[in-house]
């Protein structure tokens, strides 16, 4: 396995279902050791990861890409499957809280048929993505099962702020209200840096998500804030099955507008 995108014909010891996937189509596996996950190969997503080298500011907000993997084969009774090998963003967090937020009003790809486009527009119109360019697709708080997907789908522009506030509740309950404010403030700084990078990139990211992860562990927060190393949160762009690098086509206003509204909602949590 390497980072060139060439297929590695090797097995993955101890691969199992990835428990911290909170949205998407499933099929993601955690690899023994925990530092890497593998997900079913999508060639468009592979090309996007491989093309990210030309945009290092954005690449720093993407999971590290380790190449692709061929798993199984005739000796296992089948043709084998191919996977993307990616950094496990949640690795090392003791009590992770995870939120998947889809960005943009448009989710359909450049080559989508009229039928696919109409279906996508109908779905978007029924959710907050249609009005403010973002929608919670999944949430998992420390010690709780993942949020029901119907709950996510039923969120409105009115109820969405409370749902985002709920995501940060464990930071206050497990540590303190000041710690909650610190975590939100750090996410704001990360999102501002990402916004600056996206505004300079010539890219289209349709149906992509932002993954918010923070550690609700009191012991770990005290250790990290005392200079013990490691981090308490991470913000990453994920899911690039409908994403393209498009030199000469200008910036992605669809994504930028959604990200700006993410920042607005995060700032409102501190103002309130």
pLDDT score recorded for residue 149: 87
For 119-132, the pLDDT digits (tens) are 989 888 889 999 99
Span 263-271, mean pLDDT? Answer: 95
pLDDT score recorded for residue 2: 36
pLDDT score recorded for residue 126: 86
Contact 82, 41 (CB under 8 A): yes
- CATH architecture of the domain covering 96-271: 2-Layer Sandwich (3.30)
pLDDT score recorded for residue 267: 97
pLDDT score recorded for residue 1: 33
For 225-237, the pLDDT digits (tens) are 888 778 999 999 9
For 56-96, the pLDDT digits (tens) are 999 999 999 999 998 766 554 445 689 999 999 999 899 99
Please say if the pLDDT value at position 217 is more than 60.
yes
Span 31-49, mean pLDDT? Answer: 90
What's the rounded Cα separation, in Å, for the pair 189 and 18? 29
Query: What percentage of the chain exceeds 90 in pLDDT?
Result: 69
Q: Range with the lowest mean pLDDT among 77-81, 152-156, 174-178, 216-220?
A: 77-81
Average pLDDT over the chain reads 88
Q: Range with the lowest mean pLDDT among 68-82, 163-177, 257-271?
A: 68-82
For 1-39, the pLDDT digits (tens) are 334 444 343 445 566 656 655 565 567 888 867 889 999
């Amino acid at each position: 396995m390497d980072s060139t995108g060439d297929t590695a014909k090797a097995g993955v010891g101890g691969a199992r279902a990835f428990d911290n996937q909170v949205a998407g189509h499933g099929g993601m596996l955690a690899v023994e050791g925990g530092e890497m996950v593998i997900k079913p190969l999508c060639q468009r997503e592979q090309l996007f990861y491989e093309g990210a080298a030309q945009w290092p500011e954005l690449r720093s907000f993407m999971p590290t890409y380790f190449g692709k993997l061929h798993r199984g084969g005739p000796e296992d009774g089948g043709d084998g499957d191919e996977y993307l090998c990616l950094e496990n963003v949640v690795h090392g967090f003791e009590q992770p809280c995870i939120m998947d937020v889809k960005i943009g009003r448009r989710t359909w790809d450049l080559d989508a048929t009229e039928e696919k486009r109409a279906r996508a527009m109908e779905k978007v119109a029924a959710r907050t993505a249609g009005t403010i360019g973002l929608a919670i697709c999944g949430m998992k708080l420390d010690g709780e099962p993942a949020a029901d997907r119907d709950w996510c789908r039923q969120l409105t522009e009115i109820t969405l702020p409370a749902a985002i506030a709920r995501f940060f509740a464990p930071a206050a309950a497990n540590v303190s209200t000041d710690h909650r404010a610190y975590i939100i403030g750090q996410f704001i700084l990360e999102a501002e840096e990402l916004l600056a990078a996206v505004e300079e990139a010539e890219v289209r990211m349709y149906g992509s998500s932002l993954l918010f992860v923070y550690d609700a562990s009191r012991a770990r927060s005290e250790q990290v804030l005392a200079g013990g190393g490691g981090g308490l949160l991470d913000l990453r762009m994920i899911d690039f099955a409908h994403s393209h690098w498009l030199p000469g086509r200008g910036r992605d206003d669809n994504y930028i507008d959604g990200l700006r509204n993410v920042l607005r909602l995060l700032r409102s949590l501190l103002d309130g």
